[in-house]
Amino acid sequence: MKVTHLLGIGAIALSALACTTNPITGRSSLQLANNSEILTMSAQEYRTTLSKGKVITGTADAKRVANVGSRIKNAAERYYQSIGRSADLANYSWEFNLLQSNELNAWCMPGGKVAVYTGILPITKDDNGLAVVMGHEVSHALAGHGNERISQAMVAQYGGAILGGTISNAQWASIFQKVYPIGSQVALLKYGRNQESEADEMGLYLMSMAGYDPRAAIPFWNRMEAASTGSRQPEFLSTHPNPETRISDINKDLPKALEYYKAAGGKI
């Protein structure tokens, strides 16, 4: 079997047809890949990752991760429903798990498969800080950043060939695993800086819609930067904008985020 993509219509027309607009940030991106294939592979690899790690269950921290994740999920679903785009999330199968690891990291696979590492919890400090992290990671999935990165890899590897034919399952799997190094390396998911900046913005809005105080974002990111001083930078920060740019962007986005927060019942 082969995975068929948009074919034979020219690069410009293909870009126009495969362009997806984020309903929260307004950013457009090229997404050529088949989302159902991405979600299937993501679910498989998530199960593999959980089986190789130590999943923490039943503790206060595990319950916090599940609760914060659920509130962000619910806020996203309400928002997408309010703009008539519930179909975007129809095939999501959300999971929120806490994994034992000293790494300062968290991630979300396409389809809402979330993992938070115990090592980042001292940096998040409280539910608001945890919501900064989880809102950011969920935003990568909702914005289709996995599809975008896979599409970029497809174009880089196959160029014009993808416009006139099909990509085999083996080629597809190879591309997927280059974008999402799986198993013990799943923590090393790589996004571009534009995508990281978008996840910062979108995550700020999502956490606010969920009733978490977006003003927690700046101290959280400052703590993350401080934690990396004098040591190898955590992968969580490796492709992010520089600290000054991030803080400046968050300050620009805070007024809108606070409107969402107030609408969710938050106190300004």
Q: Could you tell me where the beta strands, DSSP code E, fall in 120-233?
A: 167-168
36: region left, alpha or beta (phi > 0 left; psi from -120 to 50 alpha): alpha
Pairing of strands 113-117, 55-56: unpaired
Say if residues 140 and 200 touch (Cβ distance below 8 Å). Answer: no
Query: What would the two tokens of residue 116 be?
Result: 């938070």
Do the Cβ atoms of 77 and 87 come closer than 8 Å? Answer: no
Amino acid at 77: E
Q: How many residues does the chain have?
A: 268
**Residue 163 CB contacts under 8 Å (≥ 6 apart), including other chains:** 6, 7, 8, 9, 10, 11, 14
Q: With 0-12 CB in 10 A as exposed, 13-18 as middle and 19+ as buried, what is 98?
A: buried
| Catalytic center residues | 137
C-alpha 187/C-alpha 103 separation (Å) is: 9
